[in-house]
Structure 1
Amino acid sequence: MPDSLPTHPDSSAPLVPLRRAGRRMRRTRNFIFLKDVAALACTAFGGPQAHLAMMFGLLVNKRRYLTAAELLELQALCALLPGPTSTQTMTAIGFRLGGPNLAYLTLFIWCLPAVTIMTLAGLLLTRFDTAFTARLVQFVQPVAVGFVAFSAYRIAEKVIKTKTSVALLVAAAMVAYFFQRPGVLPLLLLAGGAVTTLRYRKHAIVQNKKPIRVEWANGALWLGVFLVAALLGHYTQLLPVRLFENFYRNGSLVFGGGQVLAPLLFAEFVEYKHYLTGPEFLSGLGLVQALPGPNFSFASYIGALAMRPVGGTAAQVLGAAVGAAGIFLPGTFLIFFVIRFWDSLRQYRVVKASLEGVNAVSAGLVCAAALLLYHPLPDRLLALPGAWAHAHQVSLPLNPLLVGFTFLLLLWEKVPSVAIVGAALLAGALL
């Protein structure tokens, strides 16, 4: 007698191996993504726009985690929020790919190299040879300009499709170049979006729109930490708590990246609270600009030096950790809050039309960044202390041949970005 079939077959059984295979594929993809984040954290020199250029090359062109338009959209969204733009952008990509857990891992890996180096710099300040560091990275800045110029070329190629977009790109680049002020960047993005919003009728109506559901948890968390830190710092007067509140406040209110953050930190920690001296501040500021990764890691250096009166290496490490957490957490909470309802919001024709202008302005800002890195204006110093401005202006002149050569290598697409940065560092060490 032939074997009989089971009376109640388990129809879900064939799906189990597929689900397991899907989970394995997601874990593998997430692991590769985190490796890519670590590679960028160790090689992405030059500030937010150079970071964007390398994200564009690795995460868009090579790995295809997202499209060029999606990367620009996320970057523009993060630029409208206070906090470190490139860090928020990287965290948002991690959130898109794997949710909050991957996003927090992305944030940690992205910040770890620069925060570690700046913490060591704070611990070993008296032995740290900043002159050697300056020589080591002397060829990195022109290479970074090449990265940004190539990014501007590729982004414009992808998103500039109309005469309006061309006009917005040129106008944004000119305004950003001649008016380097903290509020200019978000205003330009909003203005660009407002211009193309008028053309919303050209976009198709999305049927069955998802309702916009705002999850207030991360917004409330950002505000709650802000208020609790302020109250604890006031009533306990504990130095680590006060440091966390100081950095959290600055991270919550600053627009425009590390160049805007620097004068605020100088005024608070050098001129007002005297946690470190002017030369110590300038040494750390010069070092962080020579490092890959986020410039906001400068907070860990200040935190380590501020804890010297408490005494001991452990106290300084605690200060560095408090500084890093305080400066990076506000922007993380805010991007987690916004990105959860952004996909629902962008379904509407008005929002979709505005993205054309936002992307065009973003491309213009990258063009302006390339020009400013190559030929900085005095206004770009943003009223920093005179000593720092002088130190910034006497840096080695950029080599146009290195800029052009880097651009051509990236256009050729045969040489990895890591190899180009490594060659620039090696040349600085040998020459």
Structure 2
Amino acid sequence: MPLPPPHDEHVASQSAASARVQAGPGSCLEVFLAFLRLGLTSFGGPVAHLAYFRAEFVDRRRWLDDYAYSDLVALCQFLPGPASSQVGMAIGLKRAGWTGMLAAWAAFTLPTAIALALFALGLGHFGWLSGSAAIHGLKIAAVAIVAQAVWGMGRSLCPDRPRAGLAVACALITVALPTALGQLAAILLGAVVGAAALKVPARPSLASEATGVSRRAGYGALALFVLLLAALPAWAAISDEPLAAQLAGFYRAGALVFGGGHVVLPLLESASVAGGMVSNADFLAGYGAAQAMPGPLFAFAAFLGAMSSGPLSGWAGGLALLIAIFLPGALLVAAALPFWDSLRLRPGVRNMIAGVNASVVGILLSALYDPVWIGGILGRADFALALLLFALLVYARWSPAWVVLAAAAGGWALGWLG
């Protein structure tokens, strides 16, 4: 399916802005059906998702105009969490209230989550699959895909020497301290350096409109976000329960990741592999399989929960960890919407977020080495296949879904030849 033409979220087109937007609230069912179609067909990652959303809700359905859509995209790129999913949840919230927000998330996320949970259950039932040549090809695909993410994010988020240097420093921190604590330290360093040393130009002011959330509800969502961020790790530390550690790790991953997508990989690896939930081989195989799916990459949490050897596994584990990783992003959207117009104009906030964005490039660069490279590249032939896949992604512009299929076939061929 061809992608819609690219869209600059900060320059709204006059034709779309002047088009009549459908007034009045919509129904929860209407929102669910619109997002279900996107959840089944939206291949290509977060940037492609935003293009699909604009084509569906600005051009086709006219639920909002170009200015309002651009404002939502700017907000969700500013917040931690899965940006494209947060845009979808915000559209659902504006259209049909809180139930619309839930319907948008469920319809866009569950098709991918169910497919990944089924894949995990298949790996768990047929243990020999984990060591098969085709599954090894998925691990090699993960190397190429994460390398492409580092390449692209480095060019856009580290365009000058200060931010490039900050990314390298954060990579060194997370290589030396490959734990959630090291990643948190890198993010905090990015925030401090960004606020103190960076100067990011202001973006154009966009039109404001009703957010669908009151300020009181925004304060309540923010309070719940902070409470869970503090209470879940405290519960894990006091009780020493594996379930508490799982929920705390996945909630933290959803709460601290800026940019979404591949950036969540190191935090999920710390929460699942380092925590003993899944093996590194299964983690990389699932991550590779997730690239062939439509919908958000954060749905990878369903694979990890279903594959888990912890207290929650199977369908219950997949659903619990899926909710845990998406909940902080949803709470932050609801908390920020009523205040976004004034918040985004503050220079200190823009500079801090620029620093955090540079730090996540460094964190992802560190993850490219460990666990992705170490787990996927075992010899010269693996490196050659990874290099070919990277070229297909970056220069030939292949869809990640086709690259994953090519990787599985290439891994099978290497196993047969070897």
Q: Which of the five TM-score ranges fits, normalised by the shorter chain?
A: 0.5 to 0.7
Deviates most, 221-230 or 124-133: 124-133
The CA deviation at 1:268 is: 3.8
CA distance in 2, matches of 1:303, 1:67: 38
> 1:244·1:325 contact (CA, 8 Å) conserved in 2?
no
Matched, 1:41 2:69: no
The answer for the alignment partner of 1:238 in structure 2 is 241
Residues in 1 aligned to 2:389 and 2:402: alpha-carbon distance in whole angstroms: 20
Q: 1:325 to 1:25 in 2, by over 3 A?
A: same
Identity over aligned residues, as a percent? 26
Letter in 1 for 2:39: A
Q: Which residue of 1 aligns with 2:262?
A: 259
CA contact (8 A) 2:50 2:84 kept: yes
Indicate conservation of the 8 Å contact 1:130/1:287, yes or no: no
The offset of 1:264, in angstroms, is: 2.3
Q: Does 1:287 align with 2:281?
A: no
Is residue 240–residue 322 contact of structure 1 (8 Å, CA) maintained in 2?
no
- In 2, Cα distance between the equivalents of 1:295 and 1:82? 15
Shift of 1:397: 4.2
Give 2:201's aligned residue.
Answer: 195
Shift of 1:70: 2.3
CA deviation map 1:401-426 (0-9, x unaligned): 9859x9xxxxxxxxxxxxxx999999
Larger Rg: 1
- Alpha-carbon distance change, 397 to 97 in structure 1, aligned in 2, over 3 angstroms: same
* TM-score, reference length from structure 2: 0.62
Letter in 2 for 1:175: P
Decide whether the 8 Å contact of 2:43 with 2:401 is kept in 1: no
Provide the aligned length of Structure 1 versus Structure 2: 326
Shift of 1:224: 1.7
- TM-score w.r.t. the length of structure 1 is 0.60
Kindly provide the amino acid, as one letter, of the partner of residue 398 in structure 1: L
Query: What is the deviation of 1:121?
Result: 1.9
Looking at structure 2, the residues matched to 72 and 193 of structure 1 have their Cα atoms a distance apart, in angstroms, of 23
Whether the 8 Å CA contact 1:251–1:328 is kept in 2: the answer is yes
Give the distance between the partners of 2:254 and 2:338, measured in 1 at CA: 21
SS of the aligned residue for 2:269 comes to helix
CA distance in 2, matches of 1:68, 1:424: 33
- Taking only aligned residues, the RMSD between alpha carbons, in angstroms, comes to 4.9
Q: Does 1:303 align with 2:305?
A: yes
Structure 1 residue aligned with 2:276: 274
Shift of 1:74: 1.1
Structure 1 regions of 5+ residues with no counterpart? Answer: 1-23, 146-170, 207-211, 366-377, 407-420
Preserved CA contact (<8 Å) 1:381 1:389:
no
| In structure 2, C-alpha distance between the alignment counterparts of 1:92 and 1:130, rounded to whole Å | 42
Q: Is the 8 A contact 2:305 2:317 kept in 1?
A: yes
**CA distance 1:130–1:108, shift in 2 (3 Å):** farther
Tell me the residue number matched to 2:232.
229
In 2, distance between residues paired with 1:330 and 1:304?
21
1:353/1:269 Cα in 2 relative to 1: closer, same or farther (>3 Å)?
Answer: closer
Cα deviation for residue 133 of structure 1 reads 12
Kept in 2: contact 1:251–1:331 (CA 8 A):
yes
What's 2:219 paired with? 216
- Structure-2 residue corresponding to 1:249: 252
Work out the CA distance in 2 between the residues paired with 1:280 and 1:335: 32
Q: Mapping of 1:383-422 within 5 angstroms?
A: 383-385=369-371, 386-387=373-374, 390=377, 393-395=387-389, 397-398=391-392
Identify the residue that residue 170 of structure 2 maps to in structure 1.
none
1:251 positional shift: 1.3
Correspondence for 1:149: none
SS in 1 for 2:34: helix
Is 1:327 paired with 2:297?
no
Q: Secondary structure of the residue that 2:389 maps to in structure 1? A: coil
Residue identity in the other structure for 1:234: A
**Displacement of 1:31:** 3.5
Which region of structure 1 is more displaced relative to structure 2, 76-85 or 228-237? 228-237
1:393–1:425 distance in 2 versus 1, CA, 3 Å: closer
